[in-house]
Amino acid sequence: MSVAPLTDGLLCGWRIRSAIALPELLEWQGDDRPPDLTVRLGDVDEHLPEGRTLSPFLEIDGTGTGLLQVPEVGRFLVRPSGGITIAPQPEASAAEIRLFLLGSVLGLVCHQRALLPLHASSVVIDGGAVAFCGPSGMGKSTLALRFARRGHAVVSDDVCVLDSGGPARVRPSFPRLKLWRDAIEDASLSPEGLERNRRGQEKYHFLEPEAGVRDSLPLRAIFLLRRPERGEVEGIERLSAPLDILAALEAETFRLPVGRALGTEKALFQARTLIASTVPVYQLRRQPDAPPERWLDAIAAIVRG
Residue 3 has what pLDDT?
56
Residue 5 has what pLDDT?
61
Residues 207 and 23 sit within 8 Å (Cβ to Cβ): yes
How big is the CA angle at 42 (ends 36 and 48), to the nearest 5 degrees? 85
Of the residues 112, 145, 166, the one at which a domain ends: 112
Are 130 and 226 in the same domain? yes
How big is the CA angle at 120 (ends 189 and 140), to the nearest 5 degrees? 35
Are 125 and 227 in the same domain? yes
Domain-located, residue 1 = no
Are 102 and 22 in the same domain? yes
Q: How many distinct structural domains can be found in the chain?
A: 2
Residue 1 has what pLDDT?
56
Residue 34 has what pLDDT?
95
- Domain encompassing residue 86: 7-112
Are 171 and 39 in the same domain? no
Strands 74-78 and 26-27: unpaired
Of the residues 96, 112, 128, the one at which a domain ends: 112
Residue 164 has what pLDDT?
75
Domain-located, residue 37 = yes
Cα atoms found within 13 Å of the Cα of residue 133, Cβ hemisphere only: 21
Average pLDDT for runs of 10 along the chain of length 305: 72 96 93 96 96 95 97 97 97 95 97 96 96 90 93 94 88 94 92 91 84 92 93 90 95 95 94 95 88 90 93
Long-range contacts, 294-298 (Cβ 8 Å, 24+): 295/143, 295/236, 296/143, 296/146, 296/147, 296/150, 298/236
Residue 209 has what pLDDT?
61
Residue 4 has what pLDDT?
58
Residue 24 has what pLDDT?
93
Strands 37-41 and 83-88: parallel
Residue 253 is part of a domain; what is its CATH number? 3.40.50
- Which of 21, 289, 36 is closest to 161 using CA atoms? 36
Of the residues 112, 130, 159, the one at which a domain ends: 112
Are 75 and 133 in the same domain? no
Are 79 and 122 in the same domain? no
